[in-house]
Chain A
Amino acid sequence: MMKTFSIGGIHPSDSKISKDCKIEVLPVPSKVFISVAQHLGAPATPIVKAGDQVKVGQVIAEPAGFISAYVHSSVSGTVKSVGPRKDLAGNNMTHIEIDVEGDEWAEGIDLTDTLVTAIPEDNKEILEKIKLNGVVGLGGATFPAHVKLCPPPGKKADCLILNGAECEPYLTSDYRIMLERSKEIVVGAAIMKQVLGGCPAVIGIEENKPEAIKAMTAAVAELQKTAKGYDGISVMTLKKKYPQGGEKQLIDAVMKRQVKSMGLPIDVGAVVQNVATSLAVYEAVQKNMPLITNVMTITGDCLPMENQHNYKFRIGMPLSYIAEYAGGVPEAAAKIVSGGPMMGKAIANLDATTVKGSSSLLYLTAEQTVRGVESACIRCGKCAEACPMGLEPFLLQKYARNNMFDELEDNAVQDCIECGCCLYSCPANIPLLDIIRLAKGDVIKIIRTRK
């Protein structure tokens, strides 16, 4: 019996069109724009100015708070300017513009392909390396990884869960790295496991990726045979259901524990990290490589097969450059999404650049994106059935439209994970998520001010 989370969930078609496309390395463009807000929390403070020479992997922005992260240069060259530029959503954000000259790397970075299996013994040193190399969670929220790996005093991790679910349709970047970098991911898991005090680690992968399950199981078995410190790592096959990759859903699926309202995973002894984060941790700790690259998927139903790609990109590359390199934007594309179709963001501005958490360029056709005409709620309850948090979206949207904040709070709007299952399942085309998301923000603000 395969495991999955207990309530709600939907089954969209998985459309993993680009799953057999090997990861290709994108050439460096002539110019990059590196955003200082590539993580959750306070934007980093730039420490370079126009005219400075930088090398690949050099720190160019420092964290501006506890929840913040270092940003490194992804290219070598001259800093041309530090100033506002439009981001993905069209809003101004400070970017560091660098003219590329050659490809000179900062010292101390191991560029070889050799797998380093021996894990450093000093946990403090490991955490420092993760922090200094700017590692953030690559599952979507880009939460600074070192913060998650330091449980608050009094709390202990019982299990490290590696998220290889990749439940969003279309996306295949995690799948590809699980096939091509399986051993590195396992080493990363072992490192995080050691930092968390030697708890077991479970790599959760959905059943629709049998090759990834095979590759990861083989990697775990081999490393357990040949090296020390790899006991207690296992691969778990999960039933396919969206949003399996949600932190709370994954904990429910793997550990059968439920995180309480407004609680954190560590409250039930769980730490969840994405497989891509695990790879970044490996690179940061074993190779001293800062997080300046990630893998993204170029896909879509309207994209011909030869133009489907999985690219290893460097941060700061303009999306228009990547789209052009991949064969251009297809004519049938009505909407370009960064991220999956369920939770991704529509791109308003293709001049925006890649960030640490960029996971895709997804081309959707008009047919796939145009919303139906909204009609009255018929109280069929489909949204309540689909909600993985056990909420009642039809009720919440009604309260939200009337600004009934007490009722919203009583009905736990703050637990909404914005997965979009309600919107997906609504036969009346009510913009449930749009309305509930705003109300959630308001209620969380009210709760914070009350405290």
Chain B
Amino acid sequence: MTQTIIWTIAILTILGAALAVVLFVVAKKFHVEEDPRIDEVEKVLPGANCGGCGQAGCRAFAQHCVASSPNLDSCFCPVGGNEGMQKVAAVLGVEVAVKEPQVAVVRCNGTCENRPRTNEYGGYQSCRVKAALYSGDTACSFGCLGCGDCVAVCQFGAITMDPATGLPVVDEEKCTACGACVKACPKGVIELRNKGRRNMRVYVSCVNKDKGAAARKACKAACIGCSKCAKVCPFEAITVENNLAYIDYTKCRLCKKCVAECPTGAIHTVNFPVIPPKPAAQTPKPEAAPAPAEPVKKEE
């Protein structure tokens, strides 16, 4: 009995020692020289492996950063943001330029109310499948298809479908601007835009390139390409191409002149402070705010 135990221990010890030697030799012989900084960089990355940086994952991004150091212009981890990049730069001992943080924006306002359904889609619920078959169940062949491919692809739970409108809604807090939804959308409705000063943004919530009459017929909130916004913009931030206005977020200074000018309400604003309804003589600008405020007063 004791002998069996002793033999077992002895054999396993010898086997273990022998294999340890083999492993040591092999590890020395086939040692891959790798920059130790790659590990360090990887440690400060978020580890989401989302691919938002354009690399295959966080490890690949770390390798890319180390390889392209000291110039980190081509490296940006949208999940970690500027803070994360500062950490990466600190590890590598280089400087990195601060990038404007971005957020995903859904450029379609074709709610059930604005955009009447013209047919019923009975096929597989996937935007890609739907887009491959036809233009969608409304008269607008450019807008959101509403099957939620963007929701399925978001790793951060930042996009949800609003059952009331049938459109996706982006949660700014959770969105890391990894761009997965932008790639998943077969209609190109989602765009990454700069978060903007105090998170305030102005954008054209439409991608319809049809002529004005056709676009208007398909959707009440469509951009009809009338160019009124482009004329009124003091900063030349708005261009109208193929019957569709686009606001360049690098030039836009959030004056909101275009918002009041748009006849279909296709230009949306986000996170602007709601101006209190009472002081009417404060500024001539806030035309949008009094509308809901007035009936409230009357009721009182």
Contact = CB atoms under 8 A, between A and B. Distances in A.
| A, B in one complex | yes
Interface of A: 84, 86, 88-92, 335, 345-346, 348-349, 369-371, 431, 434-435, 437-438, 441
23 contacts: A84-B210, A86-B135, A89-B133, A90-B134, A90-B136, A91-B134, A91-B141, A92-B141, A92-B209, A335-B122, A345-B133, A348-B118, A348-B119, A348-B134, A348-B137, A370-B122, A371-B122, A371-B123, A431-B124, A434-B124, A435-B124, A435-B129, A438-B128
Given A90-B134, A346-B134, A435-B124, 6 more contacts: A90-B135, A92-B209, A348-B119, A371-B122, A437-B129, A438-B132
Contacts of B71: none
A434 B134 CA distance: 13
Interface residue SS majority, chain A: mixed
Contact of A89 (B122, B124, B129, B135): B135
Contacts of B269: none
B126 interface: yes
Q: Which range holds the interface residue count of chain B?
A: 10 to 19
Sort A-B residue pairs by CB-CB distance and give the 7 closest, nearest first.
Answer: A90-B135, A431-B124, A89-B134, A434-B124, A434-B129, A348-B134, A91-B135
Contact of A431 (B129, B132, B209): B129
Interface string B110-139: 000000001100111010110011111101
Contacts, number: 49
A349 B119 CA distance: 9
A346 B119 CA distance: 11
A348 B128 contact: no
A348 to B, nearest CB: 5
A254 B134 CA distance: 35
Contacts of B132: 437-438, 441
A370 B126 CA distance: 17
A223 B204 CA distance: 68
A445 B136 CA distance: 24
A88 B132 CA distance: 13
Contact of B122 (A91, A92, A345, A369): A369
A435 B124 CA distance: 9
Given A348-B119, A369-B122, A434-B126, A86 B141 contact: yes
B129 A92 contact: no
Contacts of B136: 90, 348
Given A346-B134, A435-B129, A438-B129, A90 B141 contact: yes
